[in-house]
Structure formats: C-alpha cells, structure tokens
C-alpha cells in the first residue's frame, strides 16, 4: 500500500463492549499490524444522553485483555488528539459553518412538535419512509425557506436550531466497498441528516468524517449496520473537498443468532446461556450484571481465535492461530459478505485446545489460587501433576478444581449408583488386600500401582473389570475420571490406603456377595 495505514476503532461509551465490537476492533488491529500501520482508539461520546459511567474504562480493559494494543488514544495520546469527541466540539462547528457558508448545509429551527406533524402528514399521504428531505424541507422552518433577516433574528435570539446537510435532489452516489464491491445509492433515498444538534454537539455523521480526515484514517473497517450511512458519508467527503483523501471502506457482515435468523443480541445470549461481552459488566443504571467470557474461564487467546473466524477465514484448514499468525494471514478479501452464525460450542472447543497446549506448570497457575481459596496447601509439583492428568478432560481453568478436588480432599460422599451396583463382596476383598499392600509403601509410580493391583487380582482370580469402578469409588468418591493409577501415584500410597479404609467402613452396608 502506498500510504501509511491508519485505522481506528471508535466505540461509544454507552455500555459494555459487544462481541461484534470486539471483532471490529480485532479486524482493524490485524489489518494495521499486517501493513505496519497504526491502530487508533477514538471514543465517540457525542450523544451525552446515552453516556454510561465506567463504559470507557470497560472498553479499554476489554481491549487490553484481548491483546489488542492501541497506538494512539485517550490514554496513549498522539499527534491528532484529543481522541475523545466531546473534547473536539469546536472543531466540528468550524466545518459545519464551512458547509453552511458554501450552501451545502442549512439551519433548521423546527420544533419536535413541527417535526411530528410533518411525519404525520407524510404518513397520511401514504409515504413509506417519512423524512426531512429535498421535498419536505421546502415546507419547514429552515434557512432555505426563511428570509435571511428572519434567520439572523432567530439565531440572535438564541432560538434552538440544528444544522442539516443539504442533500442534492438527483444524484447517484457510489462507493467501492472492500468487501461488497460497488454500492450505489440515489440521493433521493437520503434524508437531510442533522450534522450539529441543538446542544452544540455533532452527530456521528459529521464527527466521524471530520475526525477520520484530521486523524488521517486510511481505512474504515466497521459493522454492516453503517452501510446505509456510507453514501451520506461519501457525500460529506465530497462537500468538504476531501474526496481525494477519503478512506477506503469495509463493512463487516452481521453476527447472527445461533439459529441464523437475525442479529445476535444480549437477549439471545441470556436465552442460550452464553456471554456476548468480553468481560463481566454491571450496568450502573439498572444494576443488571452479565457474565463475560473472561469470568466464564475463556482464555484471551482462545477467545480471539474464535472471534477472528466469525466472518473471516484463512483459506486453509488451519484453525489454531497465534496473534502473530493471524496478523500474517489476515486480509480483508477473505472476509465474507453474508452474516455469520454465533456458535458458542466452537468457542468452547477453542478454549479446550488452548488449555491442552499449555504445559503443566502454566496450568498449575490456574489451580493454585483455587486451592488457596479453598484453604488447601499443596506443593507446586503436585498441582502441576494434577493439571497434567486432567488437561485432556477440562474446558475451563476452574474445571481443574471442580473435577480434581479428590486429589486434595478425601471423599466423604460416594456415588450411590456405583455403590449400589459395584460395591460387592468381591470388590471389598480386593480392596482390603490392595490397601494392605499400599500401607507398606512410601511412594509409588503409576506403573508400580498397576503391577501391585494386578498381583492382588491374580491371587484372588478376579478380572479387573469386575472391581475397577469400586476401587475408583473408594479413592475418589465418583464413577469416572482420569487414569486411576496416575491418581494413586499423585495421592500417594498411604493416603490412598486411608481412603480405602474409610470407604470400607462407610460403604459396608452396600457390600454384596
């Protein structure tokens, strides 16, 4: 690419960052890094009525957790700040006035009641989409219809007004989208959008165009929901004389419900029991709290790998990608046009794969705090061995404790279904003999345990399948788990013997011939 690539992620601080926003940020980041460019974080807080305290901090924490590094922003600074739109108010008015002075925008003094009346008239006339446009503007209170003196008088008196874009009547507006190809819209389908609100704040349409130009943004990668506004933005670039430096646009496909019938929402997440926010979020207004991917135990690298594939594919069979590999393989051309179903099972699969790839000491770092939380003291080596034994069976880091507490705590309850069916006199006899042999040992390996157990079984002429579940029950209290010989090696022979003795006493009434 000829010019230095500069992209931006520009969220509004109106709540938690939706998974669709994370994907947009990720694709911008991958594109910037692929082309050795810059990633800018701009906070678009022009709608002060929807501002939510804590949302800004949440956005930055979420991006940091994901590993998306910002080059310029409200924390990092940069040569084109401020990077918070509410601090750039005077800049937007300057360009709004430029458009007014050149006859490309106008003042509109219409009250909410007058706007409602206009829409009601259009609805009564069976107009499909009532809007303030090239036709209706001629009947409204604006500087195109009012005399120059009356406009000046209204402005001098402090009467509230907005500034609207003067959209041409008959013009075809074209946009070459990097994902969708040529998009063409007739100007008659575009209404005279408000550029500056009555509170002196710009709307998204003006602010993002001005900021993208002044911040030298070269590529705008954003959600499909902004595609209908893109022709309006092209028109603004033309009106402001910036067509030659207009960024290239890429509008990402929608994230769809698991059923594939509509846009993914918070309600869908609640219905299906999965998160759609990267981090836990508590709404300061309603008090509602929603779980995030982080709090549910997803690893950030697994989460990002999952997000990357929601609309993009590398064109190969490879599914596991490090951030560096994603950067190397990423291209806008491999983003699809159609919506992508959100499949939480794929996210779970990614998490399992990333856990499996970690070594036992890395995994122990997840288990150790859980042990401490439950008042258990264990060596780092034991925690590492437990994690190594369990890692093929877990989905989330918390599973190391949930599925492996019997490594640290002797069972006091036993699976009653197994006890009723498998706790036989034959099993009791084998366990008694097995226990006596274990009591004489200080340490054992899994191979030692296997050999010792086989000796007992051979002497009593019992096949292992007839008693294995009873032995597991005595030592762990549950019916299934990892290799029993490895469990005994980690628990230790003397502790195992004590557990067997306790089970023999506790489950005595279950013994059958």
Given a contact cutoff of 8 angstroms between Cβ atoms, the answer to whether 30 and 287 are in contact is no
Which residues of the chain, if any, have pLDDT below 50? none
Alpha carbon distance 282, 265 (integer Å) = 17
- Determine the pLDDT at residue 475: 97
**Which H/E stretch holds residue 196?**
strand 194-196
Query: What domains are there in the chain, each with its CATH number?
Result: 1-72+253-357 (3.40.50.620), 89-196 (3.90.800.10), 358-403 (1.10.8), 410-513 (1.10.10.350)
371-395 confidence digits (pLDDT tens): 999 999 999 999 999 999 999 999 9
Q: How many CA atoms lie within 13 A of 256 on its CB side?
A: 12
Residues 6+ apart with CB under 8 A from 428: 470, 504, 511
Alpha helices in 263-322 (DSSP H): 266-272, 300-308
Given a contact cutoff of 8 angstroms between Cβ atoms, the answer to whether 208 and 233 are in contact is yes
What token pair was written down for 180?
């969708």
Tell me the residue ranges of DSSP E strands in 18-121.
38-41, 105-108
Given a contact cutoff of 8 angstroms between Cβ atoms, the answer to whether 92 and 210 are in contact is yes
pTM of the model: 0.92
State whether the Cα torsion 364-369-373-377 is positive or negative: positive
> For residues 289-319, b (16+ Cβ closer than 10 Å) or e, as one string?
ebbbbbebbbbbbbbbbbbbbbbbebeeeee
Taking the mean position of all CA atoms in its chain, how far away is CA 187?
36
How many CB atoms are located within 10 Å of the residue 245 CB? Answer: 13
What token pair was written down for 429?
């006899």
> For residues 419-452, b (16+ Cβ closer than 10 Å) or e, as one string?
beebbbebbbebbebbbebbeeeeebebeebbeb
CA neighbor of 357 nearest in space, from 297, 301, 273: 301
Active site residue 266: yes
Given a contact cutoff of 8 angstroms between Cβ atoms, the answer to whether 276 and 258 are in contact is no
Catalytic pick from 266, 346, 358, 494? 266
- Determine the pLDDT at residue 269: 86
> For residues 359-380, b (16+ Cβ closer than 10 Å) or e, as one string?
ebeebbebbbebbeeeebebee
- Determine the pLDDT at residue 511: 63
């Amino acid at each position: 690419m000829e010019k230095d690539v500069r992209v931006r992620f520009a969220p509004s601080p109106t709540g938690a960052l939706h998974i669709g926003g994370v994907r947009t940020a990720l694709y911008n980041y991958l594109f910037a890094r692929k082309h050795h460019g810059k990633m800018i974080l701009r906070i678009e807080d022009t709608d002060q009525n929807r501002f939510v305290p804590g949302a800004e901090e949440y956005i930055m924490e979420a991006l940091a957790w994901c590993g998306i590094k910002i080059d310029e922003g409200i924390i990092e600074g940069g040569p084109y700040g401020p990077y918070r739109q509410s601090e750039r108010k005077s800049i937007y008015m300057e360009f709004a006035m430029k458009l007014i002075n050149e006859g490309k925008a106008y003042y509109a003094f219409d009250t909410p009641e007058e706007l409602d009346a206009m829409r009601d008239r259009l609805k009564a006339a069976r107009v499909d989409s009532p809007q303030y446009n090239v036709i209706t503007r001629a009947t409204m209170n604006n500087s195109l219809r009012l005399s120059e003196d009356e406009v000046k008088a209204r402005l001098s008196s402090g009467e509230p007004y907005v500034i609207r874009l003067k959209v041409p009547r008959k013009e075809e507006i074209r946009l070459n989208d990097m994902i969708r190809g040529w998009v063409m819209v007739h100007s008659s389908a575009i209404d005279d959008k408000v550029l500056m609100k009555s509170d002196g704040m710009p709307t998204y349409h003006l602010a993002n165009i001005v900021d993208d130009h002044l911040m030298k943004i070269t590529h705008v990668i954003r959600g499909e929901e902004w595609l209908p506004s893109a022709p309006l933005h092209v028109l603004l670039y033309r009106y402001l004389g910036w067509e030659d430096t207009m960024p290239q646009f890429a509008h990402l496909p929608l994230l769809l419900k698991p059923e594939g019938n509509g846009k993914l929402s918070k309600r869908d997440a609640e219905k299906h029991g999965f998160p759609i926010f990267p981090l836990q979020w508590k709404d300061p207004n309603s008090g509602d709290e929603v779980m995030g991917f982080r709090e549910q135990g997803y690893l950030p690298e697994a989460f990002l790998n999952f997000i990357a594939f929601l609309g993009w594919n590398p064109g190969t069979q490879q599914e596991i990608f490090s951030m560096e590999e994603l950067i190397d393989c990423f291209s806008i051309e491999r983003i699809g046009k159609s919506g992508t179903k959100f499949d939480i099972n794929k996210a779970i699969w990614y998490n399992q794969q990333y856990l499996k790839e970690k070594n036992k000491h890395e995994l122990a770092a997840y288990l150790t705090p859980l042990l401490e939380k439950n008042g258990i003291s264990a060596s780092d080596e034991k925690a590492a061995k437990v994690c190594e034994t369990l890692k093929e069976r877990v989905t989330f880091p918390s599973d190391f404790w949930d599925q492996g507490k019997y490594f640290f705590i002797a069972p006091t309850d036993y699976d009653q279904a197994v006890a009723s069916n498998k706790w036989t006199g034959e099993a009791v006899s084998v366990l008694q003999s097995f226990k006596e042999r274990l009591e004489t040992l200080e340490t054992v390996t899994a191979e030692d345990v296997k050999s010792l157990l086989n000796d007992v079984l051979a002497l009593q002429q019992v096949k292992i399948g007839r008693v294995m579940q009873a032995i597991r029950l005595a030592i762990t209290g549950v019916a299934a788990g990892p290799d029993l010989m490895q469990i005994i090696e980690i628990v230790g022979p003397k502790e195992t013997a004590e557990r067997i003795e306790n089970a023999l006493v506790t489950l005595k009434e279950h013994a059958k011939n």
